[in-house]
Every structure is written in C-alpha cells, then in structure tokens.
Amino acid sequence: DIQMTQSPSSVSASVGDRVTITCRANQGIANWLAWYQQKPGKAPKLLIYGASTLQSGVPSRFSGNGSRTDFTLTISSLQPEDFATYYCRQADSIPFTFGPGTRVNIK
Amino acid sequence: QVQLQESGPGLVEPSETLSLTCRLSGGSLNNYYWSWIRQSPGKGLEWIGYIHYIGTTKYNPSLKSRVTMSVDTSRNQFSLQLNSVTAADTAVYYCVRGGDYGDWFDPWGQGTLVTVSS
C-alpha cells in the first residue's frame, strides 16, 4: 500500500492568513492526488483532484500543487468557513489511501 | 443534483454480517464507480472498495476476504456486505461516487455509524 503523510497535523491560523498543508507519498504517484475538506459531523468534500484541478464550485482561494511524491494544498486567504480538517488521498494505485489529516484551527 | 443516502442497521453483533445500502437520487449509476469508505478514530479514512455499474469490483486487500459489493441498477442503489465483523469494524460508513480512474470521490453520502457490539 502507498503510505500518505501530512504536515503539520494541526495548524492555528487567523482569518485572512495564508495556510499551506503538505502531503507526501512514500512512492511516486504522478499527479494522482486529491484533497478533501471535512467539517465536524459531516462527510468529506472534494476540493481538488489531479493534484491541481479545482472541483467545480470550490472557491479559487484553494489551490493544489505538486507531483510524484510531494504535494501542497494552499488556502490563500483563510475564511471562517475554512476551519476544518483536510485530507489528501492518492489515486495512483489500489488500495486508495488517505493521509491522516491536518486540522486547521482558529488562532 | 446527485445525492447519496446510506441505510442499514446501526448496531451489529460481533461475528455477524454488516449490510448497508446506498440509494442514489438525482442521477444514474451508469458510467461511474461507486465506493464505500469508512472512518474510525483509530484508523482514519479507509477505502473499502468500489463497484462499477456493470458489476466489476475492486476491494481493499486488507478486507477483501470479508467484503462483497453488489449493484442494483433497477433500484438505483448499491450495497456493501462485510462478514465476520469485530469491534475494529465500528466506524462511520460512507458511500461515494467516483471517477473512471478513482481520481475523485464526489459526492459523498452523509455517512452512517455502525457499531459492532453485543
């Protein structure tokens, strides 16, 4: 199985801050990487797939970058509704695997 | 707009079979891959497997011996069976729609908590 790691595990930030989350795969996955946002008690929501393609309806302040083993999710200007947990997920090979998550907290 | 809704028992006894159904509204099962994903505090998000609308399946090797998925296009629903459950199978189970290459999962059902306990 491909192992996914994320850093940091949590980050405290203020509204308007730029936040970057890193996701790393233990082997190359080209650009087969997606990002999801999850709020408490809710299902995850797709933000980005193909490492950098923004899902329809997702605000442009979210962006994804990277390839092979190293990826980033950036929120350019954090909004109140962005406080949540973010997960990366590799789609290169079965079984699809998720990162452990990064919680974005209010500072 | 496509919506998914999981249904099934919220409590299953150890060694029994967990059975869940996901009903699709606002769309068709055709041309997509339909996955089950679970989330537990101890193991995070875990992909269980997918079924294509024509019936092709792929399962997570860690669960493969205990998992069966099926699809019923006439009822616009698909199902999950997980045999010989233990407390480790306690989780929120989600059904989701996926793209051809598994590159995206969207939308997700709201999730249903299944507790394994006697």
- Residues A89-98: tens digit of each pLDDT: 999 999 999 9
Q: Cα separations (Å) of A95 from A45, B61, B74? A: 20, 7, 29
Work out the mean pLDDT of chain A and round it to a whole number: 97
Give mean pLDDT, residues B74-78.
95
Distance from CA of B80 to the nearest CA of A (A): 17
**Residue in chain A lying closest to B62 (CA):** A95
Q: What pLDDT is attached to residue B60?
A: 97
CB pairs under 8 A between A and B: 55
**Span B6-24, pLDDT tens digits:** 999 999 999 999 999 999 9
Interface subset of A 50-69, CB within 8 angstroms of B: 50, 55
Interface residue B102 vs chain A (CB under 8 A): yes
Q: Coil, strand, or helix at residue A81?
A: helix
Q: What pLDDT is attached to residue A31?
A: 96
B42 has pLDDT over 80:
no
Give mean pLDDT, residues B21-34.
94
B4 has pLDDT over 90:
yes
Interface residue B47 vs chain A (CB under 8 A): yes
**Residue in chain A lying closest to B6 (CA):** A43
Q: What pLDDT is attached to residue B101?
A: 80
Beta-carbon contacts of residue A49 (< 8 Å; ≥ 6 apart): A33, A34, A35, A55, A91, B99, B103, B104
Cβ of A20: how many Cβ atoms within 10 Å?
A: 15
B113 has pLDDT over 90:
yes
Give mean pLDDT, residues B63-84.
96
Flag if A91 and B104 touch (Cβ within 8 Å).
yes
A66 has pLDDT over 90:
yes
Q: What pLDDT is attached to residue B102?
A: 83
Beta-carbon contacts of residue B74 (< 8 Å; ≥ 6 apart): none
Flag if A45 and B101 touch (Cβ within 8 Å).
no
A15 has pLDDT over 90:
yes
A70 has pLDDT over 80:
yes
Q: How confident is the model at residue B27 (pLDDT cuts 50, 70, 90)?
A: very high
Q: Which residues of chain A make contact with B45, given a CB cutoff of 8 A? A: 44, 87, 89, 98, 101
Are A73 and A48 in contact by the 8 Å Cβ rule? The answer is yes
> How many angstroms separate the CA atoms of A64 and A5, rounded?
16
Q: Which residues of chain A make contact with B104, given a CB cutoff of 8 A? A: 34, 46, 49, 55, 91
| Backbone angle region of A41, left / alpha / beta, with phi > 0 → left and psi within -120 to 50 → alpha | left
B58 has pLDDT over 90:
yes
Q: Cα separations (Å) of A70 from A28, A29, A106, B42? A: 9, 9, 26, 25
Q: Which residues of chain B make contact with A43, given a CB cutoff of 8 A? A: 94, 107-111
**Span A51-61, pLDDT tens digits:** 999 999 999 99
Flag if A98 and B47 touch (Cβ within 8 Å).
yes
